[in-house]
Amino acid sequence: MALTLRQNFLWTSLGNVVYGGFQWGIIIILCKLGNPEMVGHYALGVSICAPIFMFAGLNLRLVQATDVNHDYTFNHYLGLRLITSSLALAAVFLIVALLGYRFLLGAVILLVGIFKLLEALSETIYGFLQRIEQMDFIGISLTLKSLLSLLAFAAALALTHRLVWAVLGLAAASALTFICYDTHRCRRMMAAAVPAPAGYRVGASWVKTLRPAWEWAVQLQLVKLSLPLGVAGMLIALTFNIPRYFIKYYLGAAELGIYSAMFQLMLAGSILMMAVGQTIQPRLARYYACRDLGAFCRLLFRGATVAALAGLAGWLFSLLWGKPILTIFYHQEYARHTACLQWVMASSIFYYLATILIFGVTAMRSFKNLLLPFAASAAAAGLSSWLLIPAFGLMGAAWALCIINLSNTVFLGLLIVFLFRQAARQT
Least confident of 268-277, 338-347, 397-406: 268-277
**HSE-CB of 207 using CA atoms within 13 angstroms:** 5
Helices (H), 100-215: 103-131, 135-160, 163-177, 183-193, 202-209
Under 8 Å CB-to-CB from 156, ≥6 apart: which residues? 162, 165, 166, 168, 169
Burial 175-203 (b: 16+ CB within 10 A, else e): bbbbeebbbebbbebbeeeeeeeeeeeee
Contact criterion met (CB below 8 Å) for 300 and 360: yes
Geometric angle at alpha carbon 244, from 51 and 97, rounded to 5°: 60
Helices (H), 178-292: 183-193, 202-209, 216-250, 253-289
423 vs 217: CA distance, rounded Å = 30
- 224, exposed or middle or buried, with CB in 10 Å at 0-12, 13-18, 19+? exposed
393 vs 160: CA distance, rounded Å = 33
272 vs 16: CA distance, rounded Å = 7
Contact criterion met (CB below 8 Å) for 152 and 94: no
Contact criterion met (CB below 8 Å) for 63 and 130: no
Mean model confidence pLDDT for the chain: 87
In terms of pLDDT, which residue wins out, 121 or 275? 121
Amino acid at 403: I
Q: With 60 as the cut, is the pLDDT of residue 192 above it?
A: yes
Q: What's the pLDDT at 8?
A: 75
Q: What's the pLDDT at 2?
A: 60
Geometric angle at alpha carbon 268, from 309 and 230, rounded to 5°: 95
- 206, exposed or middle or buried, with CB in 10 Å at 0-12, 13-18, 19+? middle
Q: What's the pLDDT at 427?
A: 67
Nearest CA among 81, 144, 76 for reference residue 118: 81
389 vs 403: CA distance, rounded Å = 13
Provide the whole-model pTM: 0.80
21 vs 150: CA distance, rounded Å = 9
Among residues of the chain, what percentage have pLDDT more than 90? 48
Helix axes 253-289, 103-131, angle to 10 degrees: 20
Highest mean pLDDT among 3-12, 59-68, 179-188, 334-343: 334-343
Q: With 60 as the cut, is the pLDDT of residue 236 above it?
A: yes
Mean pLDDT over residues 361-385, rounded?
Answer: 88
Listing DSSP states for 286-339 in one string gives: HHHHTT-HHHHHHHHHHHHHHHHHHHHHHHHHHHHHHHHHHHHHT-HHHHTTHH
Cα 53 to its chain centre, rounded Å, is 10
pLDDT tens figures, 64-99: 877 777 778 888 888 999 999 999 999 999 999 998
- Three-state SS at 194: coil
Cβ-based neighbour number of residue 236 at 10 Å? 22
Mean pLDDT over residues 211-229, rounded?
Answer: 85
